[in-house]
Structure 1
Amino acid sequence: MPRAPRLTQQHIARLAGVSQATVSLVLNGADPALARIPAETRERIQKIIRDTGYVPDPIARRMAQGANRILGVFTYEPAFPSAQADFFLPFLFGIEEEAQARGYDLLLLTGSRGANQAGGRKIFAEGNRLRLADGCLVLGRHFDHDELTRLVAGDFPFMAIGRREDAGAPVPYVGADYASATSALVQQARELGHRKLAYLGALGPAESPADRWRGFQAALGADLELVLQQQDTRAPDGELLDAVRARGATAVFCVELADALRLEAAARARGLALPDDLSLVALGSHERVEAHATRFASFLIPREQMGRDATAALVLRIERGAGQPVHQSLLPCDPIRGETLGPAPR
């Protein structure tokens, strides 16, 4: 059975004997514009709308008002596989909550791979598809610097989640204050009597590990000695523990929770007790610390709040237009006391 054609404003205008512009004003117009249309005409149009069951096209209505009220969400890595879920989902919860509160819909953009790229999503591989939305939130462990430079140079409203270095000009972002949170953990180790520390994990170039390393260095003083700093942690678990013990480190700071878990397993296999024989600290993580049996000394990354704040800042930029100051903010990370950082062994 053929599908009935969808009613349009043109159909309503023909039935009412008025122009389509008049129908549009009755549906969308503000009071001053409506006052110019006779009451009898308005009532006739409204009756036809009721009788026919006409429903305005929400997309066309938004476009007529100059905006779709749609926010894009672009992730450089897949957002939903289980390996990524703990990283992206809290951000998405915050984004969805704030978008709904502000009357915006969300559009998840997966991008595409560049013509010569074996992998990795690209914003600009086939033009700027972000423009399907009024503005976009960009997330990922690693951003493409060239794409970020193009975004900054353009006029499309966007907000990065996570601190980003300048890309030809300041990048709008909402991030987490990893540097201060890391410094606070080093200070806690100092107060517990630790004097020889190890640091395992990347120092950069991405902003997140760079901030952690900067915070760690800032907290060191003449009374603390960094006896082991190792970026490549792919050695077997036992060898990694041997390196820590050989240097006399009593507290180990791990950039990744996975390395802290490996060291913990190796230590327990040798009969070492945490934190009596060795203290372990996880500098936040891409996984929720509370999901593991051991509660590591760490800090809580405010992912949901980052999503909410970034969404609010993006909406403000869209609704107020260009010319606003570039929004950059870092949210504090709450400490997690945990059970793996204790007094230094005698």
Structure 2
Amino acid sequence: MPERVTIKQVAQQAGVSVATVSAVIRGATNGNVRISAPTRERVERVVDELGYRPNFLARGLRNQKSQLLGFITDVVGQSLATGAMLQGAQDAASEAGIALLLFTTGDDRQIERRAIDIMHGHRVDGLIYGTMSHRVVEVPDGVRDLRTVLLDARAADGSLPSVEPDDERGGYEATRYLIDAGHRRIAFVTTREPSRAADERLAGHRRALSEAGIQADSALIVSAENTLSVKMGEDAAAGLLALPALPTAIFAYNDPLAQGVYQAIHEAGLRVPHDVSVIGYDDQLHIAAALEPGLTTMRLPHYEMGRWAVEHLLSRGADGSQPPAQIRMECPLVERASVARREAPMGS
């Protein structure tokens, strides 16, 4: 077996100090370490040529850190819509020179228990505990023994730092956007499935209507059985389009339901947004950007949430010295072409 290349060999061949090589590998950018671009490129080239790999185990033994963060999820790793959380966490960890140890449990408690044990065995420097859709969770045994951040979840007792999307505000902003475009008869297509997200988006929708002095109409709130079913969204919207007084705008709980709303509008011989405006939620690009016209929607801040979780773990924010942060991230509006301005009738 060939001998392991050392950091000293890299430094000698690159013509720099060991400290400079170490700083380049860590990606150091603080004011105490200033490395020119040519020097950095030369060190990186030598690292590649020699096949040097940092000895994170030895480093961990010296500074009592494993250079690992754990990431346990239920099914989030299998979801296209939430893969950005993993990317955000990975980017932040990579920039800090550490690695993520990822487990997807499939919501199986036995697998989860094993994953937690493995995290302890690897002495991870912190743990991200994530869920598929933000919900209140009972924190499993063993998690509290680690510096932990909850991602897209919140502890029932609020005892751990957490980051979630602010869906109440998102529902409010989506409806407010329609109101500002002149709409007054605004429908909401939600889900029958138990969901904090649905409850909060509906609450925000109702708050926006109330602040605008618009009387809520229960006939304009309809539910779909399955939030991932385009057909369910179409069926729900078809009922709205059969009302004696049509809604001028429809706010869909998520983008798949919004796609179904589009289909119902087309089937009724109407057009988006000329006859009925539509706004969605999630910003699932394979839907929102692909629809014709493009779907205006609220973007879930998955990438930013993943980054925040890692950055918070690497700060002193999760070490118990401060009250646990409970972050609710804004869901920004992504404007496309599915909402038309509507002139309010005279005297309205």
TM-score when normalising by structure 2: 0.70
Q: Does 1:308 align with 2:297?
A: no
CA offset at residue 129 of structure 1? 3.1
Distance 1:73 1:130 in 2: 9
Distance 2:150 2:297 in 1: 24
Identify which of 274, 277, 282 aligns with 1:276.
274
CA offset at residue 65 of structure 1? 2.5
Counterpart mapping for 1:128-143 below 5 A: 128-131=117-120, 132=122, 133-142=124-133
Partner of residue 77, structure 1? 75
CA offset at residue 169 of structure 1? 3.4
Deviations 1:3-26 (A, max 9, x none): 6999xxxxxxxxxxxxxxxxxxxx
Counterpart mapping for 1:106-255 below 5 A: 106-111=100-105, 114=108, 122-124=111-113, 128-131=117-120, 132=122, 133-142=124-133, 147-148=138-139, 150=141, 154-164=144-154, 166-202=155-191, 205-221=194-210, 222-226=213-217, 227-233=219-225, 239-247=235-243, 248=245, 249-255=247-253
8 Å CA contact 1:158, 1:172 repeated in 2 = yes
Spell out structure 1 runs of 4+ moving beyond 6 A: 3-6
TM-score when normalising by structure 1: 0.70
**SS at 1:162 equivalent:** strand
Unpaired segments ≥5 residues, structure 1: 7-54
**SS at 2:113 equivalent:** coil
Distance 2:106 2:184 in 1: 49
Aligned residue identity for 1:201: T
Change (3 A) 1:246 1:112: closer
CA offset at residue 68 of structure 1? 0.1
Counterpart mapping for 1:253-332 below 5 A: 253-285=251-283, 289-317=288-316, 321-332=319-330
8 Å CA contact 1:257, 1:287 repeated in 2 = no
Aligned positions, number: 286
Question: Percent sequence identity over matched residues?
Answer: 20
Aligned residue identity for 2:129: V
Deviations 1:204-226 (A, max 9, x none): 74433333122112212242433
Q: Which structure would you say has the larger Rg?
A: 1
When the two chains are superposed, the root-mean-square deviation of aligned CA atoms in Å is 3.4
Distance 1:148 1:286 in 2: 29
Change (3 A) 1:172 1:103: same
Distance 1:232 1:57 in 2: 53
8 Å CA contact 1:173, 1:327 repeated in 2 = yes
Change (3 A) 1:245 1:308: same
Unpaired segments ≥5 residues, structure 2: 5-52
Aligned residue identity for 1:94: G
